[in-house]
Amino acid sequence: MSRKSSRVLVLAAVAVFMLAGSGRRGCRAAGVNRNTLIFGHRSTLRHALTPQVLRAVAKGLSWLAKRQKANGSFGSMNSVAVSALGGLAFIAGGNLPGQGRYGRNCQKVIGYVLSQCQPTGLIADANDGAPMYGQGFATLFLAEVYGESHERSLRRKLQRAVRLIVETQNQQGGWRYQPMPMPADISVTICQVMALRAARQAGIAVPHRTILKAISFVRQLQNPDGGFSYMLGSPGSMMPRSAAGVALLFYAGVYRGKAVAAGVHYLLSVRPGTPANNQYNFFYGNYYGTQAMFLAGGKWWNAWWPAMSKTLLDRQDADGSWHGNAGFSYGTAMALIILQIPDRLLPVLQK
């Protein structure tokens, strides 16, 4: 692909990203339901939520609700990030404050996340050693809630969180663990891009240049095999970082081109059930991998989802939980988000 053609695709991607928030405030506000054709998925999603999947989700949500602390948080490690993921798991099941079986649990997560919002825009607790993970997930969560409810009390804190993300992007175009420009990695960067996408969809301003720089950064990380490196100058493709790379391109508005095609092909080679998929960052990788394959649609989704859902059903404990490398609350929240993706109730999944 020529440099000129690549530039045209990047500008088109940014245009798609910037238009994402125009005229839509979430799937319920737009009248979307699980039978609506959004991505050409009607035939592939009709049977995705099998009775077995629905039972697993019901048990998982019940377990998660019982493990919520009095202050609304979950987990002990990276509690802002894990709590935000728990809140997203509830939203993915159709729960919002005053709505759904777990609406009260969702409200408690909102209260906790807001209590961790600092005047600078950082969303973190005192013990978080890598706060930009929590920043990304918490901003995504608040944006999804705000996009559905338009609670004025959320808007200012959401704007501050977005401003901090924009201001801490480094010259490469990415982000790292701390809220300051420093050598970036793909794992933290996808968290911020996804948060910015959701915020833009909810009506919060996001600068064009921020997305342009993020696209440029992730393109430089792609390897000849279609996978992605962790950082610039650190070669080698692995499933979790590659899933993050493909998802980042999609959420930045890049839906076509050689980079996307090569990335999706790579992900299919490391789909659930393969040795390359079953590793330390299993939930993190498949959280992004499933979103990427959902957005790719068609044969990619058909090849991915049966293996993904079977793997998660097999890994669920009898009490309804899943164990991840950051604990049971983390693993359960991640698994629930993944299993509920076909429901399309998270606004950020809108293309």
Task: Tell me the average pLDDT across 88-114.
Answer: 96
Question: Residue 311: which domain range?
Answer: 3-346
CATH number at residue 9: 1.50.10.20
Asked if residue 238 belongs to a domain, the reply is yes
Asked if residue 115 belongs to a domain, the reply is yes
Confidence at 159, pLDDT banded by 50, 70, 90: very high
Asked if residue 11 belongs to a domain, the reply is yes
335 HSE (CA, 13 A, CB side): 33
Asked if residue 17 belongs to a domain, the reply is yes
- Give the tens place of pLDDT for each residue, 215-272: 999 999 999 999 999 999 998 999 999 999 999 999 999 999 999 999 999 999 999 9
Question: What burial letters (b/e) apply to 296-309, b meaning 16+ CB within 10 Å?
Answer: bbeebbeebbbebb
- Give the tens place of pLDDT for each residue, 115-142: 999 999 999 987 888 899 999 999 999 9
Cα separation of 228 and 50, whole Å? 33
Q: Please say whether the beta carbons of 323 and 335 come within 8 A.
A: no
* Residue 197, pLDDT above cutoff 70: yes
Q: What percent of the chain has pLDDT over 70?
A: 86
Q: Is 286 exposed, middle or buried (0-12, 13-18, 19+ CB in 10 A)?
A: buried
* Residue 292, pLDDT above cutoff 80: yes
- Residue 316 tokens, joined: 């669920």
Q: What is the pTM of this model?
A: 0.89
Q: What is the mean pLDDT of the chain?
A: 88
Asked if residue 351 belongs to a domain, the reply is no
SS3 154: helix
Cα separation of 164 and 46, whole Å? 40
Asked if residue 120 belongs to a domain, the reply is yes
Q: What percent of the chain has pLDDT over 90?
A: 78
Run of H or E residues at 54:
helix 51-67
The DSSP bridge partners found for residue 327 are 324
* Residue 335, pLDDT above cutoff 60: yes
Asked if residue 140 belongs to a domain, the reply is yes
* pLDDT at residue 40, rounded to an integer: 41
Number of structural domains (the chain) is 1
Q: Please state, as a whole number, how many other Cβ atoms lie within 10 Å of the Cβ of residue 206.
A: 22
Task: Tell me the average pLDDT across 49-64.
Answer: 97
* Residue 177, pLDDT above cutoff 70: yes
* pLDDT at residue 117, rounded to an integer: 97
Q: Please say whether the beta carbons of 290 and 302 come within 8 A.
A: no
Asked if residue 8 belongs to a domain, the reply is yes
Work out the angle at residue 23's Cα, subtended by the Cα atoms of residues 19 and 29, and round it to the nearest 5 degrees: 130
**Residue 112 one-letter amino acid:** Y
Q: What is the DSSP string of 68-132?
A: --TTS---SSSHHHHHHHHHHHHHHTT-BTTBSTTHHHHHHHHHHHHHTB-TTS-B--TT-SSHH
26 HSE (CA, 13 A, CB side): 21
Cα separation of 245 and 117, whole Å? 28
